[in-house]
Structure 1
Amino acid sequence: MDMHFSDRGPDDFPAPRLIDEVAALFGVPVMAFVQQPSLQEQRIPTTTGSSYNGGPMTFDTVAISYTLWRNPHDRNDGANLADLSDSVRASLDADPVRPPPAWMMEQRELMRYPTLWEAVMTTRASRDDWQTPETTLVEHVNNILTNSFRELRVTGGIPGELDSPVTERHIEAAAVRVDGVDVPGMCINTDPHVYAVGAALKDRTLTAVIAREHLSHISLAFETRTRGGLTAQAEHS
């Protein structure tokens, strides 16, 4: 078997698409938290999609992550720092072997602070009967538990087995604040580590999953994201 090793450096990798770029290609409006001082939208979204016969990528979901500021009025306050292991903190303090591009340095620096990873997800409405708003919320919750609470909830190797995954039977009816109006929605309030809400909108499903430890710092209200949402949030802080 031939083995090939890449000598590509960080600068050889293109910068990922920013949220505005992805939103322009998504086809339906992207949802986000309402602007609030304790949350800063991270520039790079997580997406899923597909391409048929080599054609352009069609996005099925767009998930926005956020940096949490426990004390947004003083970002130098040590209370804003994440609870990191000594080894992780040492790796962040060490100078990179090869200087990475600016976007990588930005993502690296954000690792010092708590992240609401893939907190708000917009899923394009599907024609498949198996995918419903309820299954979308359940999948979002279990994905967050598997990736963000792996040490506490997952056994075995990758991907491993999630202990006590949520199911549709855990869903309850709930009002969800969207664009300033309470709309009929759903929540999952049974998991010890996360709280989740969701709502079926006209052409998409909104779901949000938040670690319980962060709930006291944020407002669970959502809005249709406008272009330049990151800049607007930074100015709001």
Structure 2
Amino acid sequence: MFIDRNSRPTDIPEPPTPDDVARAFAVPLLTLIEQDSLEEASIGTTSQTQTVTRTQERRLVMASATISYTLWRNPADRDDPANLAELSETMRASLDREPERPLPEWMHRTRERMRYPSLWEAVRTTHIIDASAVAWYTPVNALVEHVNYVVMNTFREERVRGRLPGELLGRVTEKAVEHGIPISIDGTDVPGMRIDTDPHVLGLGADLGDRILSVVIARDSLPFVDLALTTRRAPAHD
């Protein structure tokens, strides 16, 4: 999203929420089941288009939505320091300072969430609109890409070499994918996939026909997370 640096922060619109995206997405989204240790924090969307040769129009061929979560290690006491993320002194001091300019409420919420660990871009729902246009994008490919993307962006110090964007060390490949792994969705086990070879994250995925599911969770967060999933209902407009 382009942001005019001369604009006031209070003029910047709030990004779409998970509810907003769930209402607009062409297929039902998936999310981790409701649990005390997790709270949906944000959602990101991407899409891929293709040019129609005859008309030169762009048409949508694939879209995805990815949910991030705030993690509570001790949800019974949210003031417990165990819930805090490991931040640099510089980052913590920045969050403790009052903003130099007035911020909208959604930015204050975002700043506050930065104090706590997150499952960044953890659960992705991909909708293939035209399979012939993206034949290369298989469920296996989707899981491998998701794992490498999360590692590249959240374990940069440990796994990335060189200037931005850098080179990911120990990139996983399709050879790492195990098949026939049961994954619980809406209370029923479905045949899925797993990548359990990366030292920093666990990856899960499933081909659901109209959707591809991929899940990537940091290993140090796994003791606090139930990996069962559910269809995320799209709430009605207020």
| Cα contact 1:25–1:59 (8 A) shared by 2 | no
Q: Residue in 2 aligned with 1:29?
A: 28
Secondary structure, counterpart of 2:87 in structure 1: coil
* One-letter amino acid matched to 2:76: H
Partners of 1:56 and 1:108 lie apart in 2 by: 36
Q: Residue in 2 aligned with 1:168?
A: 174
Secondary structure, counterpart of 1:45 in structure 2: strand
Name the CA shift for 1:13/1:57 in 2 (closer, same or farther; >3 Å): farther
Partners of 2:163 and 2:57 lie apart in 1 by: 33
Partners of 1:133 and 1:59 lie apart in 2 by: 13
Partners of 1:6 and 1:54 lie apart in 2 by: 32
Partners of 1:59 and 1:72 lie apart in 2 by: 37
| Cα contact 2:72–2:78 (8 A) shared by 1 | yes
* One-letter amino acid matched to 1:46: G
* One-letter amino acid matched to 1:103: W
Q: Residue in 2 aligned with 1:16?
A: 15
TM-score relative to the length of structure 1? 0.89
Work out which of the residue numbers 111, 120, 132 in structure 2 matches 1:117. 120
Determine if the alignment matches structure 1 residue 192 to structure 2 residue 199.
Answer: yes
* One-letter amino acid matched to 1:30: L
| Cα contact 2:32–2:228 (8 A) shared by 1 | yes
Secondary structure, counterpart of 2:103 in structure 1: coil
Work out which of the residue numbers 164, 171, 186 in structure 2 matches 1:158. 164
Q: Residue in 2 aligned with 1:137?
A: 143
Q: Residue in 2 aligned with 1:216?
A: 223
| Cα contact 1:30–1:122 (8 A) shared by 2 | yes
| Cα contact 2:85–2:115 (8 A) shared by 1 | yes
Q: Residue in 2 aligned with 1:45?
A: 43
CA deviation vs aligned residue, 1:78-136 (integer Å, no higher than 9, x gap)? 11001111111000000000011011110110000001001000011251210000000
Secondary structure, counterpart of 2:125 in structure 1: strand
| Cα contact 1:26–1:59 (8 A) shared by 2 | no
| Cα contact 2:22–2:233 (8 A) shared by 1 | no
Q: Residue in 1 aligned with 2:187?
A: 180
Q: Residue in 2 aligned with 1:233?
A: none
Partners of 1:94 and 1:200 lie apart in 2 by: 46
Query: 1:54: how far off?
Result: 8.6
- The structure in which a higher percent of residues are strand is 2
- Stretches (4+) displaced over 2 A: 50-59
Partners of 2:162 and 2:99 lie apart in 1 by: 32
Query: 1:50: how far off?
Result: 4.7
Partners of 1:160 and 1:199 lie apart in 2 by: 29
Query: 1:6: how far off?
Result: 4.0
Query: 1:56: how far off?
Result: 9.8
Gaps of 5+ in 2: none
Q: Residue in 1 aligned with 2:88?
A: 85
| Cα contact 1:175–1:182 (8 A) shared by 2 | yes
Gaps of 5+ in 1: 229-237
TM-score relative to the length of structure 2? 0.89
Identity %: 49
| Cα contact 1:47–1:59 (8 A) shared by 2 | no
